[in-house]
Amino acid sequence: MANLEPSKQRRGLVAIDGAMALIVILLVVQIWLLSATLETVLTGHSGAVVPAAIFSGLMFSGCLALDFFVTRVDQESRKS
């Protein structure tokens, strides 16, 4: 860690923080989507169930991609 260029390390940290903030936003939207879907289903309307599952899956894919990005950036900043 001591051999790292400070600017490179700082850039890596900023990228990781940004990715984490995006993951948090996606997660909050997913929590809202789940509760809204549950409410509509309990009131007897099931039209929104399929699109909600698709969007939730897309958001999970986004979180997964960001997780891989964080891992890669972290490994690269440690290697250099």
Partner 1 sequence: MPLFRNPGREPLWKDEFSVFTSDERYVTRRQFTKFLTLASLGMFVGNLWILVKSLFAKTSAFPIVEVADINEIPVRGVKLFTYPTSQDHCIMIRTAEEEYVAYRQKCTHLSCAVYYSAKNDRLECPCHQGFFSVKDGSVLQGPPPRPLPQITLEREGTKLHAIAVKGG
Give the binding site for partner 1 (CB under 8 A): 16-17, 19-20, 23-24, 26-27, 30-31, 33-34, 37-38, 41, 43-44, 46, 49-50, 52-53, 56-57, 59-60, 63-64, 66-67, 70-71, 74
- CA dist 56 and 44 (Å) reads 21
Identity of the amino acid at 71: T
Whether the CB-CB separation of 64 and 19 falls below 8 Å is answered with: no
Considering the complex, state which of residue 5 and residue 17 has its C-beta at the smaller distance from partner 1: 17
Considering the complex, state which of residue 5 and residue 65 has its C-beta at the smaller distance from partner 1: 65
Output Rg (C-alpha) for the chain, integer angstroms: 18
CB of 79 to partner 1, least distance (A): 15
Considering the complex, state which of residue 10 and residue 64 has its C-beta at the smaller distance from partner 1: 64
In the chain the first and final C-alpha atoms are separated, in Å, by: 9
